[in-house]
Amino acid sequence: MFIVTGANGFIGSAMVRELNARGYKDILCVDVVKLEERSEPLKKSQFSDFMLTPDFLDWANDNLDSHSVQGVFHMGAISSTTESDWQKLETNNITLSQQLFNFCKNWGCPFIYASSGAVYGGGEHGFNDATNMARLQPLNLYGRSKLIFDQWMMSQEDKPLRCIGLRFFNVYGPNEYHKNDMASVVYKAFLQIKSTGQLKLFKSHKPEYADGEQLRDFVYIKDITRWMWEIYELQNIENGIYNLGYGKARTWKALAENTFKSMKCDTNIEWVDIPISIRNQYQYFTEADMVNTFAAGLSKPNFNLEDGVKDYIQNYLLTDDPFL
């Protein structure tokens, strides 16, 4: 049996579909959101059971062992970069992860968990997963919570069979629709263009960047879940933390133009000021250093920005059923 936490969310539900595509149906889905409250992400998936996170923690200790669990994909977290309740972040992003880490250690199974590119902060020290974590300065509490668990995990001498943290960059794709403000710019752009025929993008407030030339590492969900499976299969991968991005930053303008193109609309961008409240935290450049990730044995991405945006929009967002 596989366990997927955050299974009723974006990356978690996509991972359940990835496992299904590879022939696995004995999957325990765990999430804080009931299926009755959010049914769509898992509606096409096959899985053996669904449990709420608190119930799972109480049950797992007494009912699971090394013979029953093949691996854990821990995608459950408070993922809002604007969350201000530190206790909530600590409980969900640190303590829960520590509990699952210890479960996997006892079960003797791989523990593959979601870290975040947010740990790199403004990128003052680059975006290399080998950078000394003591130097990193996240820009928000969410990033701080992820960094603290990364540090804790790496400090443990006794780890699960394979213990891998994944620093996701700007992931976009089907099944993200419930994320609201935290949804990808591709999805937000699609909705805005569909509604108004126009897209509002932030101006640049730095002279070295023209409007729309701010850069992000956009990575498609189908590459992410394939890589997660590859990591599970890599028997000799070294325990540690690995970046998961495309590996090449692209501009907001390129993303916008590809969104308009995939929707068969003329490009129509309105440049707006970045709100003062977030201007000092706004990032002008992110790019995953993927050297260690590829050296570990992972394949190259299948979807560049053009292909990913086209697949997302034309095969999902413009259809009657946009879910994986």
Q: Which residues are catalytic?
A: 142, 179
Ranges assigned E (strand) in the chain? 2-5, 27-31, 49-52, 71-74, 111-114, 163-168, 170-172, 199-202, 215-216, 218-220, 240-244, 250-251, 269-272
CA–CA gap between residue 75 and residue 157 (Å, rounded)? 23
Nearest to 310 by CA among 214, 218, 210, 226: 218
C-beta separation of 29 from 9 below 8 A? no
CA–CA gap between residue 183 and residue 70 (Å, rounded)? 31
How does DSSP classify residue 244? Answer: E
Nearest to 177 by CA among 58, 305, 20, 43: 43
Q: In the beta sheet, which residues pair with residue 207?
A: none
One-letter-per-residue 3-state SS of 45-73: CCCCEEEEHHHHHHHHHHHCCCCCCCEEE
C-beta separation of 4 from 73 below 8 A? yes
Kindly tell me the burial class for residue 37, based on how many C-beta atoms sit within 10 Å of its own C-beta (0-12, 13-18, 19 or more).
Answer: exposed
